[in-house]
Structure 1
Amino acid sequence: MPTVARLLTEVFAPAVPAAVLPVVIGIHAAGPVQGLAWGLLASTFCALIPYGMIAVGVRRGRLSDRHIGVREQRTRPLLLGLLSVSVGLTLLVLTAAPRELVALIVASFAGGVVATGINHFWKSSIHTGVLAGSAVVLVLVFGPLLLVIAPVVAAVGWSRVRLRDHTPAQVIVGAAIGATVAGVVFSLLR
């Protein structure tokens, strides 16, 4: 079972939905060419740059691992990630990106702010937060049929507990934050 848990944790690491979802929403909102361009721009600032900063921190020995398992090490990378997302959001607004994509990135930023605040004091699961928020956005955009992805969020939560990276409460709080913030902010702005 640890192999399955590790696989789920890696395949659905926060950088993955943070990189894929903006492309999906961009293409949905603006078509394959422009939507892909805007989606890739958003992915660069919401996933690639933040994950790159984490990778550098791990390589230099400043961070324990790419999932930042030590809570006390999370604040700085999370704040730098928020800075990157805000730069990407500014570029999206300046280039007149589709409203739906901008709403997604604002929701991502808002979720990041809440998660960063909580993680300064307590280690909630960012894996389940990002994945639950992504699932809610997909359901809002493509309809209730995509509720079939809800078990994936639960499976990733199980993997985080199974690997002893989080407690059940940390997983549940992470998912609740991600789903609630994404649902409310995305719904209001789209």
Structure 2
Amino acid sequence: MFKTLRADLRRRIVGVCFLNSATESHLVPGRLKVPDRATWCATVLSEVLSPSVVGAVSLLVVGYSATRLGDSGPAWAVALAFGCGGPPLVYAVKSLGGCGSLSMHLLEWRQRLATGLIALVALVVNLGLATGFHAPRRLVDFLAFSAGGIAVASLATAVWRISLHTAVVASLLGAAGAQCGLSVLAGLPVAVVMGWARVRVRAHTPVQVILGCSAGLAWAAFYCELY
């Protein structure tokens, strides 16, 4: 009984992760073929550590660091996480027809560019609101840093499909870690795991993953030099 329920749950998860994806070889007419464990884990990692999720977590980390300075950081961080991460996530889900893998479907450069522009507009709007309503300075600076990074990454991914996942993980987690007194390389271990996941699911080549990670670390180092 337990094995049957577990198998059914796994099929449902795989169905969400791989339906209409670039890895259609996993699908067999009339039935869903479960991929190997490594590919399944890589797909789940790509979903859990999607750019929108990483951006929201980074804002919460920066909000926590602002609290240590006596600012009302967490409340602002939660509001900004929804305001900045929500619009691009909604667009991605809508462009996929309401289901599928957010980490593997945006293969067309127009979709990637549109998602980046929507994220940039959301960041700029929330940056204006945060500045106008006197949000903690750390959060305002972090939003400005994120907006600049998204602008550069959107232009880059429109020309060549570098790994936006690894770039976002390396840059935002590195910058957020630096806000808490950690090294700018704080996001590197997670970026390495994400890079393996992106290559495993055949969403990127190793070169695209390495370039994305390098660009993210460079942007995080630039942020730490400024702030």
TM-score (ref. length: structure 1)? 0.87
Query: Do the aligned partners of residues 60 and 156 (structure 1) sit closer, same or farther apart at CA in structure 2, a change above 3 Å counting?
Result: closer
Q: Alignment RMSD, CA only?
A: 2.3
Give unmatched runs, 5+ long, in structure 2: 1-37
Q: Which deviates more, 43-52 or 141-150? A: 141-150
Q: Give the corresponding residue for 1:3.
A: 40
Question: Aligned AA for 1:42?
Answer: L
Q: Give the corresponding residue for 1:113.
A: 151
Question: Aligned AA for 1:5?
Answer: A
Q: Distance in 2 between matches of 1:24 and 1:148?
A: 12
**Does 2:192 align with 1:159?**
no
Deviating above 6 A after TM superposition, structure 1's stretches of 4 or more consecutive aligned residues are: none
Alpha-carbon shift at residue 149 of structure 1 (Å): 5.0
Query: Do the aligned partners of residues 139 and 36 (structure 1) sit closer, same or farther apart at CA in structure 2, a change above 3 Å counting?
Result: closer
Q: Give the corresponding residue for 1:23.
A: 60
Question: Aligned AA for 2:58?
Answer: L
Alpha-carbon shift at residue 6 of structure 1 (Å): 1.1
Alpha-carbon shift at residue 69 of structure 1 (Å): 2.6
Q: Distance in 2 between matches of 1:38 and 1:186?
A: 22
**Does 2:18 align with 1:12?**
no
Q: Which deviates more, 104-113 or 171-180? A: 171-180
> The residue matched to 2:123 in structure 1 has which SS?
helix
Question: Aligned AA for 1:36?
Answer: P
Q: Distance in 1 between matches of 2:71 and 2:181?
A: 24
The structure richer in helix per residue is: 1
- Number of aligned residues: 187
Does structure 1 conserve the Cα–Cα contact (< 8 Å) formed by 2:171 and 2:220? yes
Q: Give the corresponding residue for 1:139.
A: 177
Q: Deviations over 1:94-129 (max 9, x none)?
A: 111112111111111111011111111100111101
Percent identical pairs in the alignment equals: 31
Q: Deviations over 1:16-64 (max 9, x none)?
A: 1111111221122135982122102221232122211221222279xx8
Q: Distance in 1 between matches of 2:185 and 2:173?
A: 8
Q: Distance in 2 between matches of 1:146 and 1:75?
A: 27
Query: Do the aligned partners of residues 28 and 163 (structure 1) sit closer, same or farther apart at CA in structure 2, a change above 3 Å counting?
Result: same
Question: Aligned AA for 2:120?
Answer: L
TM-score (ref. length: structure 2)? 0.74
